[in-house]
Amino acid sequence: MSPTAGEATPKRKRLRNTRQTEREGVNALRAFLEDQDCVVQEVDTANDFGKDLLVDLTKDREITGETIAIQVKSGRSFSQGGCWGIPASSVDLHTWYESSTPIYGVIFDPTEREFHWINLSSYVREQMDALRDHKNAGKQTKQIEMRFKGHFVPTPEKQTLTQESWENFAGEVRGYIRRFGGRTLLDLMSEDMSAQISAVHDCFALGRGDARALLLLRCTITKLSGYVLAQALHALSHCAANPDIPWSERNWIPLDITRQVRASFNWSPEEILHMIREVEETGSAGVSAWERGGYGQSLIVLLWESPDLCERLHSALLTACRGLDDDVAFRTLILYQYFLGIRCPDTDLRERIESIVKSNPILAGHAVSSGLLSTIADFGWADIF
């Protein structure tokens, strides 16, 4: 019924000016994804919390169980200075960080009919979080309720979604879901060395956003051997005070995660001996071991965090002398005297080491035992490398 003369026209809800553009982007992306045999479910706008589409990937028209959420933006307003991106509040960033489903952002350019995309979950977990702590290293910062400050999240340059690039996009999604879901970490127990090494690298990548991945790597340390163990030591050493790692936002681990992982470096004598033996064997195979920048250095910085280290090294040394290779026993002796000299400076190091060598034929008969004793006699202690 029309209002009569003199009556005010009642106020009504109006369509947003951007609604048509937004729908154009959602519709175009949905059509594209369905052309790739994806199963697409649109999220009701009443329940839209930054997830416009839920997408199931398929293979040979079978649903694989690989699911992502997509936040869709549309229009030239999402381009700043030629760079496409998504404005995000601190709440948005927090939502992406905590989502149990990986979230991707897709921006539709209606002029060029192009889709620009970015893995938002990866961005906030593995890039933004690490960069934030990397820049704040050494600064006294107050604990704040929100983890991140809002800003403009740029999409990688020339990263577009097309028929030609679909397989690359799908491969990226599958790879991230494997890491995100943790299934690839099971390859730590694989019999294939390349699969184990890949799992170690995934533990590091996933661990930059979730401490549990690095803690898993630490807890399986005695199940790893050779070059795989060496890689694991190097990955874990990023959580310790390793002076020879060139730090950047790409390998910086957030401080809260570093603290959690460091607290687990409570190495038992059995673990210590296992790590020494495996690093020693990689060295005999021609891999960089007991030198600056080698895997031995990674082990040293990990041991540094362990409480009661001298007592545990002594226990490991006695075990090595009872039945292991003489090089392993001698390497354990070198580490023992090194840490003993640092942590217990009042100890008569020369008398202690001479007594241990004389009491253990495997050490007394080693080719360079006399050289070690002479070095300690002349300088008070011997360096590790």
pLDDT in tens, 260-318: 999 999 999 999 999 999 999 887 666 668 888 888 999 999 999 888 999 999 999 99
pLDDT at 49: 65
The reported pLDDT for the residue numbered 116 is 97
**Pairing status of strand 62-74 against strand 103-109:** parallel
The mean pLDDT of 249-263, rounded to a whole number, is: 85
**SS3 call for 111:** coil
Which helix (H) or strand (E) is 67 found in, with range?
Answer: strand 62-74
Q: Are 184 and 207 in contact (CB under 8 A)?
A: no
**Residue 125 confidence class, pLDDT cut points 50, 70, 90:** confident
- Angstrom distance (rounded) from CA 337 to CA 350: 9
Alpha helices in the chain (DSSP H): 19-35, 90-98, 120-122, 129-135, 166-181, 193-207, 211-219, 226-236, 255-262, 269-284, 295-304, 309-321, 326-343, 349-359, 361-364, 369-379
Q: What is the mean pLDDT of residues 25-36?
A: 96
- Alpha carbon of residue 96 to chain centroid: 17
Confidence tier at 144 by pLDDT (50, 70, 90)? very low
Please check the confidence at residue 182 and state whether its pLDDT lies above 80: no
Residue-level pLDDT at 251: 73
Average pLDDT, the chain: 85
Gap between the Cα atoms of 216 and 204, Å rounded: 10
**In angstroms, rounded to a whole number, what is the distance separating the alpha carbons of residues 208 and 303?**
21
Least confident of 65-74, 91-100, 111-120, 187-196: 91-100
Contact 184, 176 (CB under 8 A): no
Predicted pLDDT at 245: 80
Q: Which two tokens mark 221?
A: 């340390």
Q: What per-residue confidence (pLDDT) applies to 288?
A: 64
Confidence of residue 134 (pLDDT cuts 50, 70, 90): very low
The mean-pLDDT minimum among 92-106, 135-149, 287-301, 337-351 falls in: 135-149
What is the structure's pLDDT at 70? 95
Q: How confident is the model at residue 2 (pLDDT cuts 50, 70, 90)?
A: low
Q: Rounded to an integer, what distance in angstroms lies between the CA atom of residue 72 and that of residue 49?
A: 12
Identify the weakest region by mean pLDDT among 10-14, 127-131, 291-295.
10-14
Q: What is the pTM of this model?
A: 0.67
Confidence of residue 19 (pLDDT cuts 50, 70, 90): low
Q: What is the pLDDT of residue 140?
A: 47
Q: Picking from 210-224, 240-254, 355-369, which range would have the lowest pLDDT averaged per residue? A: 240-254
Report the pLDDT averaged over residues 138-156: 65
* Model confidence at 114: pLDDT above 70: yes
Encoded tokens for 197: 């090494």
Q: Tell me the pLDDT tens digit for each residue of 38-84.
A: 999 998 654 556 789 999 999 988 888 889 999 999 999 999 888 99
- Across 149-184, b (16+ Cβ under 10 Å) vs e yields eeeebebeeebbbeeeeeeebbebbeebbbbbeeeb
What was the pLDDT predicted at 71? 95
Cβ atoms 327, 311 nearer than 8 A? no
Alpha-carbon 81 to chain mean position: 32
